């Protein structure tokens, strides 16, 4: 099947491992885990886990039990936590996999106590995100008594915003909970939170986006390497006369005779219409701008200054921080929107 694909993701194993090692170092004495939800942020969770485990990572996090099943057996010595907790239909899977649910509500705690008393779990405390999590007040009622808590965690809401007051408020609240709720480990920092300093690291950090090349704070600039480089086959090269238009809506008009290449990528592959007039293909080091609108499966790029022909492969400019600024898409979206029509090639 891979030989039939006209889309590739070239994935850099060394860059992925180097990013994890830098994040581990920034966390001081804390262990450094890895969020591999959303199919490893679009890279392919299985390949990510194998490479990070080889680098030394032992703690992995997915969102759902379906993701846990799809991930398959973990490398020896590794553990897995399921961030969305546990529902009644999940209990048989939870019992068979040995992964820990992250309990996020009073109802989930009571369900786990009734169905799996004594089995390890994690617990999420909401310290200000107002998303998933037990409130600090609920945690002090005796609700958590009797649980075998491996990791007590919370999640920072504004770690990527320099100087935001909520960061210190959440840290203060979580420190108080650490003293009140017994657990084997405590965890607060995500990718951006790691950059806030060792005070936020506790026993375990949980990076996600920065593992995959995302840069959220100035401290990570020049430290986090690009992991994902899309590459696309040229389906056709066309010569346009002056005045010809390109694509739906005829939004681009050739100001002079030019050559355009039609590439096998579009918004069905996560290359959204926001890239129209802003993205580029790469013929070696030469940028070939996207012209006209992005279609579902196709884009056109200006290759007038190249000798590109049908059947050639061009890179796609996919620096996450820069393309996020250009398109208005978040770095998370740029990764997780990548579809299943790509061949994923680890090097």
Residues 265 and 50 sit within 8 Å (Cβ to Cβ): no
Strand-pair category, 34-35 with 59-62: parallel
Instruction: Find the catalytic residue in 41, 248, 271, 318.
Output: 248
Catalytic site includes residue 342: no
DSSP structural state of residue 301: E
Residues 169 and 154 sit within 8 Å (Cβ to Cβ): no
Distance of CA 241 to the CA centre of its chain: 43
Catalytic site includes residue 332: no
Instruction: Find the catalytic residue in 37, 113, 200, 267.
Output: 37
DSSP structural state of residue 226: P
CA 95 vs CA 86, 92, 103: distances in Å: 11, 5, 15
Can you list the pairs that 171-174 forms with residues at least 24 positions away whose Cβ atoms lie under 8 Å? 171/199, 171/200, 173/127, 173/128, 173/136, 174/125, 174/127, 174/202
Give the span between the Cα atoms of 68 and 91, in whole angstroms. Answer: 13
Positions marked active-site: 37, 248
């Amino acid at each position: 099947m891979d030989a039939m694909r006209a889309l590739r993701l070239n994935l850099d194993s060394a860059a992925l491992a180097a990013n994890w090692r830098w994040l581990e170092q920034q966390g001081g004495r804390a262990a450094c885990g890895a969020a591999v939800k959303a199919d490893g942020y679009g890279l392919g969770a299985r390949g990510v886990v194998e490479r990070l485990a080889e680098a030394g990572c032992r703690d992995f996090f997915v969102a759902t039990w379906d993701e846990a099943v799809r991930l398959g057996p973990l490398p020896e010595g590794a553990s897995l936590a399921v961030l969305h907790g546990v529902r009644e239909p999940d209990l048989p899977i939870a019992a068979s996999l040995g992964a820990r649910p992250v309990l996020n509500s009073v109802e989930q705690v009571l369900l786990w106590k009734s169905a799996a008393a004594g089995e390890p779990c994690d617990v999420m405390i909401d310290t200000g995100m107002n998303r998933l999590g037990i409130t600090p007040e609920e945690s002090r009622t005796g609700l958590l008594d009797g649980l075998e808590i491996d990791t007590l965690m919370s999640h920072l809401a504004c770690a990527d915003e320099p100087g935001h007051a909520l960061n210190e408020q959440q840290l203060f609240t979580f420190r108080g909970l650490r003293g009140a709720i017994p657990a084997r480990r405590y965890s607060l920092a995500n990718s951006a939170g790691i950059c806030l300093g060792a005070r936020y690291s506790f026993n375990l950090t949980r990076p996600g986006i920065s593992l995959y090349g995302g840069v959220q704070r100035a401290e990570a600039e020049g430290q986090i390497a690009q992991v994902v480089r899309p590459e696309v086959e040229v389906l056709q090269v066309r010569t346009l006369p002056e005045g010809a238009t390109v694509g739906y809506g005829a939004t681009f008009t050739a100001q002079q005779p030019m050559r355009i290449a039609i590439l096998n990528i579009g918004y069905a592959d996560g290359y959204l219409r926001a890239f129209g007039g802003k993205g580029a293909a790469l013929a070696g080091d030469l940028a070939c701008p996207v012209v006209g609108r992005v279609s579902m499966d196709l884009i056109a790029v200006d290759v007038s200054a190249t000798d590109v022909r049908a059947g050639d492969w061009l890179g796609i400019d996919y620096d996450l921080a820069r393309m996020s600024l250009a398109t208005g898409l978040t770095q998370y979206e740029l990764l997780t929107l990548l579809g299943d029509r790509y061949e994923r090639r680890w090097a």
